[in-house]
Amino acid sequence: MYFNMKTILARGGIEFIAVFLGIALSLWVDEYSENNEIQRLNDSILNRLYDNLESDSTNFTWVINAHKTSLKSCKSITKWIESNHDIHDSVNIDISRIAINTFTWANKEEYSSLKTSGRIDLIKNEELVKTLHEYYSQIEFAQKIEDDLNSSWIQNEFIPFIADYSNYFGNPIKEDIYGYYYPQFILYAAPEKNKMKYFVSRKMKTSNGAIYVYDELLTLTKKLRKLIRGTIKIT
């Protein structure tokens, strides 16, 4: 009787261990599968983000060229202000170039998906995570610069000022700045000298600052693409 009881208890213990191990293994498999699915989703998002960064780079280069073109026109206008103020076609073009509306376009969807889902915490490459945060924070800063420049300065200050000395044509001029368009102004009188100097000086300061920010963003896009290549297999 005693022997049978020991046998029953032994068998029961073995069965309990077997059931326990079975449940534990099942839970481990489920967790493993879930982690694999999360990793697969993360890899897919990072692949799309990798492609988006290339598009971002194109946009940033375009904005930089637009600001550089505007800077050249600012320098030309500065010389013109100090000269005899004769109005000719090149002056009209330079005046129009100052009013180039630039904007920051960057696809934030993939980054937002990682961030809101909490899956960004599962990326093991800490430098990649840190650089992602830095990159998208810099984009927000660049967008603020463009919003302030376009809405506050160009729309509310420069255009109302130059409109007193020119005809404004709704049909914009197309120039080889990545196919960029800008408003067309035709002067019929020379703008007030000191105010024009103020607008040119302010535009130069803003454009130089914007170029610096976008150069930093271009550097970050290259760094991020390199980090992503070192983290996942690009498909």
Q: Which of 54, 49, 51, 57 shows the shortest CA–CA distance to 215?
A: 57
Write down the pTM of the prediction: 0.76
The whole-number pLDDT of residue 60 equals 92
Reading the chain (235 residues) residue by residue, the pLDDT tens digits are: 444 555 544 555 555 555 555 555 554 444 445 555 566 777 777 888 888 899 899 989 988 998 998 999 999 999 998 886 778 888 888 888 888 878 777 888 888 877 887 777 767 788 988 999 999 999 988 988 888 877 678 888 888 898 888 887 655 555 544 445 567 788 888 889 899 999 999 899 989 999 999 999 999 999 999 998 888 777 6
Strands (E), the chain: 166-175, 180-187
Q: Which of 163, 152, 140, 127 shows the shortest CA–CA distance to 202?
A: 152
DSSP 8-state secondary structure symbol assigned to residue 190: P
* Contact between residue 218 and residue 57 where contact means Cβ atoms under 8 Å apart: yes
Parallel, antiparallel or unpaired: strands 166-175 and 180-187: antiparallel
CA distances from 158 to 13, 53, 155, 171, 197 (A): 86, 33, 7, 18, 12
The per-residue DSSP string of 43-106 comes to HHHHHHHHHHHHHHHHHHHHHHHHHHHHHHHHHHHHHHHHTT----HHHHHHHHHHT-------
The whole-number pLDDT of residue 106 equals 81
CA distances from 12 to 1, 16, 24, 133, 168 (A): 16, 6, 18, 55, 93
Gap between the Cα atoms of 136 and 153, Å rounded:
25
The whole-number pLDDT of residue 8 equals 47
The whole-number pLDDT of residue 37 equals 59
The whole-number pLDDT of residue 49 equals 86
Residue spans of the domains in the chain: they are: 2-231
Q: Which of 167, 172, 223, 214 shows the shortest CA–CA distance to 63?
A: 214
